[in-house]
Amino acid sequence: MKLNEVAENVLKVIDSYGFKQEGAFNLRLNGMAVCHGDSRHIRIVKKEDKPGIDIYISGEAEQEQVHIPVVMSEPGMKDVVYNDFYIEDGADVTIVAGCGIHNDGCSESRHDGIHAFHVGKNANVKYVENHYAEGTGSGDKVLNPVTKIYVGENSVFTLETTQIKGVDSTERESFIELAEGAKLYVTEKLMTHRAQTAVSNMDVQLNGENSSARIVSRSVARGTSRQVFHPKAVGNALCHAHVQCDSIIMDQARISSIPEINANHVDAQIVHEAAIGRINSEQLTKLMTFGLSEEEAEAVIIETFLN
């Protein structure tokens, strides 16, 4: 189907892999699944009982992609969607999700994506999620994702989640369970401006022997924005976890980092590091001696920090 310019532009920002209406995909626009396609190994089925889709990924999928972006361009809409992923043993797949809001109105636009991933054994899953909002209106742009991930034996799950900009309020809830030998890699990036608020709660349960988790969270808070991080790693078996949160604070922003590490087993090894500080003034001065303005120098440092 032909999309309008607003939708096309938002899709370009939120789908960094490049969204095309081919292969396995599902585009949700203003609360409706407007187009979708299956591939040989990936089948998308509309839910009967509530809004959302079931995505079935075959064990024969090798380096395959599925794209399921959400675009909200009508102001004043509240969209709740339930997506469930069933990933068979041995599947190798990249799931590109994301939500972009364009709000030119004065009412709140809100999207709550409730995602559950049921991952079999020996699978390799990468889940990429970008959040972005824009628009000239005064209406708030709100994104409250809930993500549940159950990683089966010896599977690898990579979660890359990025709040690019423009989201006025977000409350992220993530819950992850790791079975024997399962590995989790999380990269969370978050940028807040003006009076935006962001809360991110993440609960990682290392239940299986030899499971491991590496969580890296990087954030920048500007204006009068407020960020609260509460990552929690619970070691219930022989396992390794490393949680690292780094934040740059600017202007009158406020950041709280409340990591929680719990060792419930003698062979649970869990490390946490967190740092909050302002932009490195030496880097800033150095870049400015190369002729960059203070704003340009700040932009370079923030981009390097987040990427």
Positions that interact with a second copy (CB under 8 A):
235, 247, 249-278
In the complex with a second copy, which residue's Cβ is closer, 178 or 255? 255
In the complex with a second copy, which residue's Cβ is closer, 159 or 268? 268
143 in Cβ contact with 110 (< 8 Å): yes
Q: Residue 73 and residue 111: Cα distance in Å, rounded? A: 11
Q: What are phi and psi of 250, to 5 degrees?
A: -135, 165
Q: Residue 4 and residue 1: Cα distance in Å, rounded? A: 10
- Closest approach of a second copy to the CB of residue 254, in Å: 5
In the complex with a second copy, which residue's Cβ is closer, 149 or 249? 249
Per-residue DSSP letter, 2 = P
| Angle separating helix axes 281-289 and 294-306, nearest 10 degrees | 120
Q: Residue 177 and residue 157: Cα distance in Å, rounded? A: 11
> How many CB atoms lie under 10 A from the CB of residue 192?
26
In the complex with a second copy, which residue's Cβ is closer, 138 or 256? 256
- Closest approach of a second copy to the CB of residue 243, in Å: 9
In the complex with a second copy, which residue's Cβ is closer, 147 or 257? 257
278 in Cβ contact with 257 (< 8 Å): no
Sign of the alpha-carbon torsion through 35, 80, 46, 39: positive
- Closest approach of a second copy to the CB of residue 147, in Å: 22
Q: What are phi and psi of 72, to 5 degrees?
A: -120, 110
**94: its two tokens:** 């990249």
Helices within the chain (DSSP H only): 5-14, 281-289, 294-306
- Closest approach of a second copy to the CB of residue 249, in Å: 5
In the complex with a second copy, which residue's Cβ is closer, 62 or 251? 251
In the complex with a second copy, which residue's Cβ is closer, 106 or 271? 271
- Closest approach of a second copy to the CB of residue 274, in Å: 4
Q: Residue 29 and residue 37: Cα distance in Å, rounded? A: 15
Chain centroid to CA 123: 20
According to DSSP, the residues that pair with 238 across neighbouring strands are none
- Closest approach of a second copy to the CB of residue 246, in Å: 10
**7: its two tokens:** 């939708």
- Closest approach of a second copy to the CB of residue 283, in Å: 15
In the complex with a second copy, which residue's Cβ is closer, 18 or 277? 277
**21: its two tokens:** 């209406």
Helix (H) or strand (E) holding 251: none
Q: Residue 195 and residue 118: Cα distance in Å, rounded? A: 36
- Closest approach of a second copy to the CB of residue 279, in Å: 9
